Amino acid sequence: MSLSSAHTSTAPDRSRQPLPRRAIFGLFLSGFVGILTEAMPAGLLPEMSRTLHTSVALTGQTVTLYALATAIGAIPLARLTGSWPRKRVLQVALLIVAVANVLTTLTDDYALVMAIRFVAGLGTAMIWPLLGGYAAALAPDGRQGRAVALALAGTPVALALGIPLGTAIGQLAGWQSAFYVSAALTVANMAWVHLTLPGVAGRSAGERPRISATMRIPGLRLILLALAAYMVAHNIVYTYITDYLADAGMAAQTGWVLFVFGATSILSVIVVGAHIDRHLRKLLIASTFVLGASMLVLAVFADAPALVYAAAGAWGFAFGSSPSLFVGAAINATGPSSDVAQAIAITVFSGSIAAGALIGGLLVAGLGSTSIAWAAVVLLAAAAVAVLGGRRHAFPAGR
């Protein structure tokens, strides 16, 4: 993997420099708080719905709206802030997320909470498109892939550890306390970024590539197609995993199944981060096929708890580093246009969350919970075809 960036340092012999772990940890935390803020209401819906005087289903739309705001805002906000120093963009975005978390706790008006959540989603829309490129710009030559993997690891870690912890805090001390803790963590993240993250310049309007030109870069559209199929497949099942487990007679084991998924997701970050610079294509192929096999096991063996646990572990291991792999492929394919390409990828990523929730809901209501696993198998077959077929530009060998 040879990640390129328009902002790469001109310092001599960068290959001998150590990986800037303290700075990359600031990027990791930024992704962590973004996902934590987005998904935390999912574990607090009953408590929040009582405060907001509405149903659990309507309260759940605070997650959907957040994801839609991130999808809608990623490209225009990346263009709007393209000339800003990257560190300033990140600090402004984190401030928006922190303030929104506090404001969410201060009202019982559902419409106002939805508006605040939309603004918070726009803050996250400013964070995600710059993490991969920022990490690659700071990393020594030959280790950009590892830097990107570590910077984007906030997603699986937040899903595995942050959201269950936020749920526990909310259940013990009220859902508002969970949001206050998230806000405090975000402020601490801002301080860490201020102290440890080197500045990286933005680019003038004339230097920034157009979206239309970026989309014509060979390989990018195939990457986005594979990304969409992969992420929609994941979100169809993940969003409705409680329904699936309940119908499988494993409702009481939901927490343990999700723990297995989360633990192997974190393991995936460690394993993939060690090999991503040399074996991006092989890792993407393996991730797609392992996830497809996991979904097939869930579709066929819903009545075998041991196999469900095994499938959940393989699922987490395949999915954990998938954001790093797809963003890495986009950076490789687009080079100087990688900032715009990452914004487009984040739009697809966030849109897949909403699309997966919508499609999964229709399938569960119409065909039962097992149908979501079969739908995921079909989508992952399409993703596998795209990854295997992208050897020349999208997912080349030896990069």
- Say if residue 14's pLDDT is above 60: no
Average pLDDT over residues 158-171: 78
Strands annotated E in the chain:
none
User: Tokens in use for 78?
Assistant: 């990346």
Residues 114-135 have a mean pLDDT of 91
Give the least confident one: 103-112, 124-133, 372-381.
Answer: 124-133
What is the distance of C-alpha 392 from the center of its chain?
Answer: 26
Same domain, 379 and 247: yes
CB 254, CB 242: distance < 8 Å: yes
The structure's pTM equals: 0.80
Q: Which residue has the tokens 């097992």?
A: 370
CA separation, residue 28 to residues 107, 151, 157 (Å): 30, 4, 9
**Residue 135 and residue 216 in one domain:** no
Which pLDDT score is estimated for 6?
41
Distance (Å) of CA 370 to CA 300, 306, 315, 361: 8, 17, 16, 12
Q: Residue 296 is encoded by which pair of tokens?
A: 């097939």
**Residue 201, token pair as written in the block:** 């310049």
- CA of residue 259 relative to chain centroid, distance: 18
Residue 1 in any domain: the answer is no
Same domain, 178 and 233: no
Query: Cα separations (Å) of 163 from 200, 274, 355?
Result: 31, 26, 21
The first and second tokens of residue 175, run together, are 């859902």
Do 360 and 264 sit in the same domain of this protein? yes
Round the CA-based radius of gyration of the chain to a whole number and report it.
Answer: 20
2 in a domain, yes or no?
A: no
Beta-carbon neighbour count of residue 108 at 10 Å?
Answer: 13
Same domain? For 254 and 376 the reply is: yes
Q: How many residues does the chain have?
A: 399
User: What's the rounded Cα separation, in Å, for the pair 12 and 34?
Assistant: 35
CA distance 85 to 62: 31
Whether residues 108 and 49 share a domain: the answer is yes
Report pLDDT digits (tens) over 75-97: 899 888 888 898 999 999 999 99
Asked whether 94 and 53 are in contact (CB, 8 A), the reply is: no
Residue 10 has pLDDT above 70, yes or no: no
Q: Is 133 a member of any domain?
A: yes
Residue at a domain's end among 177, 202, 227:
202
Which CATH number covers residue 36? 1.20.1250.20
| Domain assignment of residue 131, yes or no | yes
Other Cβ atoms closer than 10 A to 110: 18
Q: Are residues 26 and 172 in the same domain?
A: yes
Residue pointed to by tokens 């928006």: 96
Q: What gap in Å lies between CA 173 and CA 350, rounded to an integer? A: 30
Residue 191 buriedness (CB in 10 A; 0-12 / 13-18 / 19+): exposed
Please check whether residues 183 and 66 belong to one and the same domain: yes
Could you say which DSSP state residue 152 is in? T
Q: What is the pLDDT of residues 202-231, one digit of tens each?
A: 776 666 667 777 888 888 999 999 999 999
Q: How confident is the model at residue 7 (pLDDT cuts 50, 70, 90)?
A: very low
| Residues 265, 225 share a domain | yes
What does each C-alpha distance from 310 to 156, 284, 289, 317, 339 come to in angstroms?
Answer: 18, 20, 15, 11, 37
* 249 and 385 share one domain: yes
- The number of beta carbons lying within 10 Å of the beta carbon of residue 19 is 16
Question: Last residue of some domain: 174, 202, 230?
Answer: 202
Identify which has the larger pLDDT, 199 or 105. 105
Q: What is the pLDDT of residue 337?
A: 61
Q: Which residues have C-beta within 8 Å of that of residue 92, sequence separation ≥ 6?
A: 81, 126
| Confidence band for 309, pLDDT divided at 50, 70 and 90 | very high
Residue 80 belongs to some domain of the structure? yes
Structurally, how many domains does the chain consist of? 2
Half-sphere exposure of residue 364: CA atoms within 13 angstroms, side-chain side: 19
Residue 7 resides in a domain: no
* CA 197/CA 249 separation, integer angstroms: 48
Query: Can you read off the two tokens belonging to residue 290?
Result: 């392992």
- Specify which of 329-338, 341-350, 375-384 reaches the highest per-range mean pLDDT: 375-384
Average pLDDT for 245-273: 85
The residue out of 176, 202, 228 marking a domain boundary is 202
Write out the residue range of the structural domain in which residue 389 sits: 211-399
SS3 content of the chain, % helix, strand, coil (to 5): 80, 0, 20
What is the rounded average pLDDT of the residues 330-339?
74
10 in a domain, yes or no?
A: no
The answer on 164 and 66 residing in a single domain is yes
Residue 79 within any structural domain of the chain:
yes
Query: 332 versus 100: which is more confidently predicted?
Result: 100
Q: Are residues 197 and 215 in the same domain?
A: no
Do 321 and 280 contact (CB within 8 A), yes or no? no
